[in-house]
Amino acid sequence: MGFTLYNAPQSTCSQRVRFTLHAKNAEFEEHKLDLFSGDQLKPEYLAINPNGVVPALVHDGVSVIDSAVIMEYLEDIRPDVAPLRPTDPAEIAKMRSMMRFIDEVPTPAIRVPSYNLAFLPHFQSMTEEAFQALADSKPLRREFLLKMGRTGFAQSEMDEANGRLRRGIDRMAQWIAASGGPWLMGPEMTLADIAIMPVVVRMADINLDEMWSDKPSISAWLEAIRASAPFGKTYYHGSLLTEKYPHLAQGKSAAHELSN
């Protein structure tokens, strides 16, 4: 039966799983879910992933959910194809601690500006009852959506998210400096690099790349991962928010002109 990936093009968690699959040369059937149409809440998908979020990977009839878990799973079953995990137990533990930090600090933080800048108009068009029903249907995102509401996150929430993103970038720079780079753990890419990749790519896409203007190691890291073979396959057209939402692309262009 092979691999079947249920995901969404712009989903950051989907992007890191797509990258891992391509890095592992794993052929897969891709199902692109329309999250705003509620594809992830349909009974047939909830049977695969009861959390009602993407991504989900089905391998030989077995469902594997949660992007970090899927990445480790792919490494477990294809360890000899483009290894993405150290062999030394202490180094494995270090990598996993990096991934835990990434999932706790910058990964949830990038959702706040993403939703405010790109997704909010969709929610504003809904009735209060429809929005409440949508939030109630999402086990992992209910509180997040209710905090955002139909008017968007408050400036205090945006400031907090930006602070968490800055901490993420600072920690990345520290890791690269300690390892000697160019990757987080040294000369070889690991799952930790793939875990943080969609956050940094999204930040660059929505004009938050000024956060590493004084950190050339982050710019070099981003250039290196963009040049990697799996990147182009992962970020096919429509994967960036600026490709999906023209108003963001216009804002990015204007911001670029002002900076030059």
The full set of domain ranges for the chain reads 3-77, 89-259
89-259 is classed CATH 1.20.1050.10: yes
Determine the pLDDT at residue 179: 98
Asked, colleague to colleague, whether 3-77 and 89-259 share their fold, the answer is no
| Choice between 116 and 79, residue whose per-residue pLDDT is larger | 79
Q: Considering the chain, what percentage of its residues have pLDDT values greater than 90?
A: 75
For the segment 59-75, the average pLDDT, to the nearest whole number, is: 98
For the segment 136-144, the average pLDDT, to the nearest whole number, is: 83
Determine the pLDDT at residue 123: 84
**Element (H or E) spanning 73, and its range?**
helix 67-77
Q: Could you tell me the pLDDT band of residue 254, with boundaries at 50, 70 and 90?
A: very low
**DSSP-assigned letters across all residues of 142-188:** HHHHHHHTTT---HHHHHHHHHHHHHHHHHHHHHHHHHTSSBTTBSS
What is the CATH code for 3-77? 3.40.30.10
Angle between helices 155-179 and 191-205 (to 10 degrees): 140
Longest dimension (CA), the chain: 54
Determine the pLDDT at residue 251: 58
Determine the pLDDT at residue 259: 43
Which residues in 30-62 are b (16+ Cβ under 10 Å) and which e? ebebebeeebbeeeebeebbeebbbbbbbbeee
Determine the pLDDT at residue 133: 87
pLDDT digits (tens, 9 = 90+) for 2-28: 999 999 999 999 999 999 999 999 999
pTM for this predicted structure: 0.91
Q: Could you tell me the pLDDT band of residue 130, with boundaries at 50, 70 and 90?
A: confident
For the segment 151-167, the average pLDDT, to the nearest whole number, is: 93
pLDDT digits (tens, 9 = 90+) for 101-110: 999 999 999 9
Determine the pLDDT at residue 24: 98
Window from 32-36, 117-121, 226-230 with minimum mean pLDDT: 117-121
Burial class for 249, CB neighbours closer than 10 Å (0-12, 13-18, 19+):
middle
pLDDT, averaged across the chain: 92
The full length of the chain comes to 260
3-state class (DSSP) for residue 62: strand
Q: Could you tell me the pLDDT band of residue 1, with boundaries at 50, 70 and 90?
A: low
CA atoms of 67 and 78, how far apart (whole Å): 16
> Contact, 168 vs 196, CB < 8 A?
yes
The encoded tokens of residue 54 equal 């993407």
DSSP summary character for residue 51: T
**How many beta carbons lie within 10 A of that of residue 71, not counting itself?**
27
